[in-house]
Structure 1
């Protein structure tokens, strides 16, 4: 197969083959090692440049399941910019800057559903497509042109279960959204999960890059998740694939060995592994047997990040009130707490002066891929700035 026609990621059968081969050989996927200077996590000037990069790139805003119906809306501060998404009466999802065109009041707080968007301050009212429909005492604004004072829309598109936005920084060149425009890579995993089950946001005292890193390797499974994931998964056994600036890391479950006695035509990855898609720069999609978790990491400063998770599921699972995947104090929740505890420890340790750089081995190559792409965008920013 030529490079021009080769799939960007492996199909289920090939993934199972590679995993079983690694199990037999006691190996894992290996890539390039990487050393990341500690100062890159702590320098406020570097952080400012990173934010400029993030604001110049397309990114995933929210999963489509967060606004399934007409009038559904939800806010999120994206790279320091307050935005919200709303589902119109035409079924289209739109993203707007979260500011009333009168005095700038944030129009949407949290999430909800309404037939119109009404500012709580003075009652200016907008249709779901963002157009301005009503101004109380409009005669007091003789120069107001309602046709041009609608909400300010951000370029966006819906891609197989995700709402993707374009660059936020108007001063930067418009970035092509090609890297996030092909949903075929996650379509079969995410698209059936049409129901939002849970949404949580928390500010963590962790640099945004440290949070990203915790999703991108299985080298820590035995040490960090001894009582949670390790009984179910293999330690330090991953398949690592990259597509553009993005990556997919496969975490196999021990029950995959049951496939050895079945014909390849009957092989399936369902309930045999977790896929983590790292969609550059700041979003992870993690698949599990009964649900999918979309994680968004929003940098706040060098020491703090907003960590937002959206748990989505198929309607059948979401409607099953007693489903252990939904109602139990889940293994996933405990595993996430363990990961965040380790990352908070890393954040403290970065300021200890013990290290000039962080050492990522060949089994952690997806992390190096992430940092290499961030460095590439930072270098481009420097070139543009002169």
Structure 2
């Protein structure tokens, strides 16, 4: 996203504020509730969307040190994200090649991954290092053929990505940039490689993953769902919402956009006059605020359950030994979690209604066009 696009977004935000409107679609739409309750559809989404499209599995700072690793739970199972001794990031199946026991839990630093069951060990580049009793018990097992199973992955834009459908000899960077399309420039603008992880909050919520994802694509609910938290800082039902190829950008102007200083020019930073959301299919939301970013990951567990992880990313320059800075970042982390928990709780309420058969369909207004477009995109992916 270059300066001209940022200026245009500021200009469009000012127009929407002046007109007391949000980005509108052409029609109202009814949507079948089955898309949120069907386990069969959910299974198709796992196969054709989550286990096919590129997805972020970690921020680069979470494995920032040489020989550091992190277990990541995904729809593809447990994975190891590892930075080896040569500073190369790899992603492996978290399963010993002997009998499948998990090698790691949590995160840490180690030059070897050692299986807790029979002590088969692997180096951080995935190579099988040692088999206890190799010659006596496994004389026909070749270590070079039994390294950890790697998934196509790349470190890019400050994040670690897995590209499960990339071909064996395919250029992973080209594969990812093709998927991101118009969002590549936006992620360059974000400069997430200049951030580091601060804190994380994870909880399982009783709702379909799409209900939680959709909440970020409209601001119609702010004045009501968030009246005690963030609503006073935003305009009611005002946003600039755009579809960027299969992804979404939502600019939510803050009330300081009406100040004399802001009205005098369009040469302003989105960081200072809005909260901006990048929704990256299939399951990542990046909520960009003045000084930091919230990295939100949705992990579907079944049609009616989703694990949501919120990771607060702050500037690398932050001094957490300074008690005032520590309190500042903790306050931001807490406010975000409190606000988003209001959304997630409403998602649980909706799921309960839909599973009870209370409604034959739900409705999207013209101001909620992006929710319909989001589901149309998913329908297209499932039809392939």
TM surpasses 0.5: yes
Aligned position for 2:262: 260
- After superposition, what is the alpha-carbon deviation per residue over 1:80-118, rounded to whole angstroms, capped at 9, x for unaligned? 422121111121211111101111111121222222222
1:322 aligns with one of 315, 319, 324: 324
Aligned position for 1:3: none
Q: Does 1:141 align with 2:133?
A: no
Structure 1 CA distance for aligned equivalents of residues 367 and 18 of structure 2: 17
Structure 2 CA distance for aligned equivalents of residues 58 and 50 of structure 1: 14
1:156 aligns with one of 144, 153, 157: 153
Structure 2 CA distance for aligned equivalents of residues 10 and 66 of structure 1: 33
Conserved? CA contact 2:159–2:193, under 8 Å: no
Aligned position for 1:131: 127
Return 115-124 or 153-162, whichever deviates more.
Answer: 115-124
SS in 2 for 1:105: coil
1:96 aligns with one of 92, 95, 99: 92
Aligned position for 2:81: 85
Aligned position for 1:296: 297
TM-score by length of 2: 0.90
1:56 aligns with one of 52, 56, 64: 52
Return 252-261 or 282-291, whichever deviates more.
Answer: 252-261
Conserved? CA contact 1:290–1:325, under 8 Å: no
Aligned position for 1:364: 368
Shift of the 56–327 alpha-carbon distance from structure 1 to 2, 3 Å rule, reads closer
SS in 2 for 1:330: helix
Q: What are the residue-to-residue correspondences of 1:168-207 with 2, within 5 Å?
A: 176-177=175-176, 178-180=178-180, 183-207=184-208
Structure 1 CA distance for aligned equivalents of residues 234 and 314 of structure 2: 22
Conserved? CA contact 1:190–1:292, under 8 Å: no
Shift of 1:56: 2.3
Q: Does 1:378 align with 2:374?
A: no
Shift of the 311–260 alpha-carbon distance from structure 1 to 2, 3 Å rule, reads closer
Shift of the 255–11 alpha-carbon distance from structure 1 to 2, 3 Å rule, reads same
Return 353-362 or 313-322, whichever deviates more.
Answer: 313-322
Shift of the 260–322 alpha-carbon distance from structure 1 to 2, 3 Å rule, reads closer
Cα RMSD of the aligned pairs, angstroms, is 2.4
Aligned position for 2:217: 216
Structure 2 CA distance for aligned equivalents of residues 70 and 188 of structure 1: 27
Aligned position for 1:12: 6
Conserved? CA contact 1:79–1:298, under 8 Å: yes
SS in 1 for 2:224: helix
Aligned position for 1:167: 164
Conserved? CA contact 1:157–1:165, under 8 Å: yes
Return 160-169 or 213-222, whichever deviates more.
Answer: 160-169
- After superposition, what is the alpha-carbon deviation per residue over 1:332-382, rounded to whole angstroms, capped at 9, x for unaligned? 1210121111111111111233321111112122212211110001111xx
Aligned position for 2:345: 341
Aligned position for 1:351: 355
SS in 2 for 1:317: coil
Structure 2 CA distance for aligned equivalents of residues 244 and 215 of structure 1: 17
Structure 2 CA distance for aligned equivalents of residues 331 and 205 of structure 1: 22
SS in 1 for 2:299: strand
Conserved? CA contact 2:152–2:166, under 8 Å: no
- Corresponding pairs, count: 371
SS in 2 for 1:195: strand
Shift of the 227–112 alpha-carbon distance from structure 1 to 2, 3 Å rule, reads same
5+ long unaligned stretches in structure 1: 1-6, 381-386
Q: Does 1:23 align with 2:17?
A: yes
Conserved? CA contact 1:80–1:300, under 8 Å: no
Task: Give 1 or 2: higher helix fraction.
Answer: 2
SS in 2 for 1:157: strand
Structure 2 CA distance for aligned equivalents of residues 276 and 261 of structure 1: 23
Structure 2 CA distance for aligned equivalents of residues 158 and 34 of structure 1: 39
- After superposition, what is the alpha-carbon deviation per residue over 1:263-310, rounded to whole angstroms, capped at 9, x for unaligned? 444x22223211111100111111112321111111111111111122
Structure 2 CA distance for aligned equivalents of residues 118 and 269 of structure 1: 47
